[in-house]
Amino acid sequence: MADYDGEEFENARKEMEGLVERSLQGREVKPNVLFAKLSEITKSAPVTKDLIRWSRQNSVWPMQFGLACCAMELMDFGSARVDAERKGYLLFRGTPRQCDVMVVAGWVTKSMIPEIKRLYEQMSSPKYVISYGECATCGGPWFESYNIIKGIDQVLPVDVYVGGCPPRPESLFAALMKLQKKIGGGIED
Ligand code: SF4
């Protein structure tokens, strides 16, 4: 495709300005509407809100993070056998700031709670938590231990629970699909 020449570029810029201006009608905005905040645009029309919801639903970004043996299952989730990439689930990020899904995989010791909370607070909002496996959900085999809590939901709000010790990687696939449905409004809390 040929590059835009000056006139075409100018026309595209004007068209974009018009689109943004129309979506902001009735709202107080600064003169340079082209660079108006996306959040302002999303408040202006229900259609746009639906679009944002659809985008959130279809771009979940899990965090690269594991606590105990369930993390091995999390690694297996990345294998060709599961083929999680077909749904775009394998973009595990190395920094919480680029993530919106925390998969808690493994038992949670009391000493790890401040670190897990810190990671959660650093994640982008809105954010979601999947409790992956028995230990993360209820303490698992260590439910009477002095140093392991009886479920991550004592510390963070959990959106989807996955059972099993160890849980199957396919279950994580199903959990992410369920989470997407929840983000899209298909499942109530
Ligand atoms: S649920 Fe089982 S596999 Fe997972 S962390 Fe606990 S003991 Fe390990």
Within-domain flag for 126: yes
pTM of the shown model: 0.76
Let me know whether 76 and 125 are in one domain: yes
Q: Among 130, 142, 165, 168, which is best to mutate for testing ligand 1, by the most ligand atoms less than 8 A from CB?
A: 165
Average of per-residue pLDDT across 129-153: 94
Q: Comparing 129 with 189, which gets the higher pLDDT?
A: 129
Residue 31 pLDDT exceeds 60: no
Average of per-residue pLDDT across 56-65: 90
Let me know whether 159 and 87 are in one domain: yes
Let me know whether 16 and 97 are in one domain: no
56 alpha carbon to ligand 1 midpoint, in Å? 30
pLDDT band at 49 (very low <50, low <70, confident <90, very high): confident
Provide the domain limits for residue 17. 6-44
Are 58 and 87 spatial neighbours (Cβ–Cβ below 8 Å)?
Answer: no
167 alpha carbon to ligand 1 midpoint, in Å? 8
Residue 13 pLDDT exceeds 80: no
Q: For the domain that residue 116 is a member of, what is the CATH number?
A: 3.40.50.12280
Q: Comparing 121 with 17, which gets the higher pLDDT?
A: 121
For atom 2 of ligand 1, the residue with the nearest CA is: 165
Atom of ligand 1 nearest to the CA of 141: 7
144 alpha carbon to ligand 1 midpoint, in Å? 15
- Inter-helix orientation angle 46-57/169-183, to 10°: 170
Query: Strand order in 160-162's β-sheet?
Result: 101-105, 128-132, 160-162
Within-domain flag for 50: no
- Specify the number of domains making up the chain: 2
Classify the C-alpha dihedral 163-168-170-176 as positive or negative. Answer: positive
Buried/exposed code over 23-41 (b: 16+ C-beta within 10 A; e: otherwise):
bbeeeebeeebeebeeebb
Residue 12 pLDDT exceeds 80: no
